[in-house]
Structure 1
Amino acid sequence: MAMNKHTDPEPWEVIESRYLHKEPWLTMRKDSVRLPNGKNIDDFYVWEYPPWLNVIAITQNDEIVLIRQYRHGIGKVSFELPAGVHDKPGETLLDAAKRELLEETGYGGGTWTKWMELSANPALQTNITHTFLATGVSKISTQKLDETEEITVHPMTSQELAALVEQGEIIQALHAAPIIKYLCSRQSQPGEHSP
């Protein structure tokens, strides 16, 4: 689809910006902005986060590696992709994704490609979630969890994964979207084990 960038809305001008709270897991700033039409918004709140990462890991047996963990915000345990935060200086996004997969599941190796970029809330958050597709991974280690993590590992077939999506068991939107893209890519390439 062709887009005419000359008709796109213009960016807002930041008049003033100040931090209300600045911690590694919660950084919020208050911007005063001027819109292209001349109107001002004096209190636009923005949440700053480092980049987030998640991995669609496909084993040598063509199983997808999912995890289950408790999420305190919603008070439930749910299925998710292995995931984490890019917060180590000097580490690439790819290296961080490989580290997170290994730490959370014990799986590693394989062939890695960039799969998808998403924003949890582009209106209010600054960060992007980077999804990687890792094919041909294998169990090479035990889990190396942080002391606050309690994660179980669940390899499953694409049919089992599709059933979870259909039943609403993948409720993390930043994980559901790349999974749905992966499942759709398999349908569009019949007879192949990876997209």
Structure 2
Amino acid sequence: MTVEHPPLRDEIVPSPVVESEVVFDGAVWDVRRETFDLEGERLVREVVDHPGAVAVLALDEEDRALLIRQYRHPISSHEWEIPAGLLDVAGEDPLLAAQRELAEEADVVAEHWAVLVDYFSSPGGLNEALRIYLARGLTAVPDGELHERRGEEAHILHHRAPLDEVVDAVLAGHVHNSTLVIGVLAAHRMREDGWTSLRPADSPWPQHPTNRRH
């Protein structure tokens, strides 16, 4: 007997919200308590409201990934990452935000851009959606145009590592940043197929937070 399974594609189907209130108004994100109906059952959940984010896996002509290391206080760690940032500028195009973050955090710009992968970071309690871009054709930002980094970003370290070496570090459990892990594994797999799975840099993003608000 053949069992029919739904297609492997997420569906955006908001459940009717009966009540919604902000119970914590934070500096970066808020916490909402929502009451909603799901198939005849009324549920209450707290949701961390997040503006969404973009990240960039930048590869140079030798297929080395441009990595940054910075301190992350919630996990008390100096963590290896790829350049990333919040979509906290109203109306800013995600691609432009990614290009800005690459220049500000990594001091480089890129000629070629494509969508690598999209994902939700923690959908059980956080509505953050992230898009990771692949950037190629790297050149340095001129000295007179370098961004002045502050806070944790002022202590960023830069490193270029072969993509295979970064994948090995992921599989060995040596690096743990989710965006880095997802980005390099996706890139490694796509490279095997000649990058045929890449999407155009301006591809629709229905999971973007502004497209899901109700």
The residue number in structure 2 matching 1:127 is 128
The residue number in structure 2 matching 1:139 is 140
Give the deviation of 1:56 after TM superposition: 0.6
The residue number in structure 2 matching 1:157 is 162
Deviates more, 1:146-155 or 1:156-165: 156-165
Change in 2 beyond 3 A, CA 1:60/1:110:
farther
Looking at structure 1, the residues matched to 99 and 7 of structure 2 have their Cα atoms a distance apart, in angstroms, of 38
Kept in 2: contact 1:11–1:35 (CA 8 A): no
Looking at structure 1, the residues matched to 65 and 7 of structure 2 have their Cα atoms a distance apart, in angstroms, of 40
Q: How many residues align?
A: 187
Opposite residue 92 of structure 2, the aligned amino acid is E
The residue number in structure 1 matching 2:202 is none
Alignment of 1:26 onto 2:29: yes
Q: Name the TM-score, length of structure 2 as normaliser.
A: 0.78
Kept in 2: contact 1:78–1:169 (CA 8 A): no
Looking at structure 2, the residues matched to 58 and 87 of structure 1 have their Cα atoms a distance apart, in angstroms, of 26
SS of match in other structure, 2:75: coil
Opposite residue 56 of structure 1, the aligned amino acid is L
Where does structure 2 lack aligned partners over 5 or more consecutive residues? 199-214
Give the deviation of 1:24 after TM superposition: 4.0
Q: Name the TM-score, length of structure 1 as normaliser.
A: 0.85
The residue number in structure 2 matching 1:67 is 68
The residue number in structure 1 matching 2:19 is 16
Kept in 1: contact 2:116–2:186 (CA 8 A): no
The CA deviation string for residues 127-170 of structure 1, in whole angstroms up to 9 with x for no partner, is 21011110111222455243212211111112321222122233
Opposite residue 128 of structure 2, the aligned amino acid is N
Kept in 2: contact 1:60–1:138 (CA 8 A): no
Fraction of identical pairs, as percent: 25
Change in 2 beyond 3 A, CA 1:161/1:145:
farther
Give the deviation of 1:4 after TM superposition: 6.3
The residue number in structure 2 matching 1:50 is 51
Give the deviation of 1:39 after TM superposition: 2.0
Looking at structure 2, the residues matched to 122 and 33 of structure 1 have their Cα atoms a distance apart, in angstroms, of 16
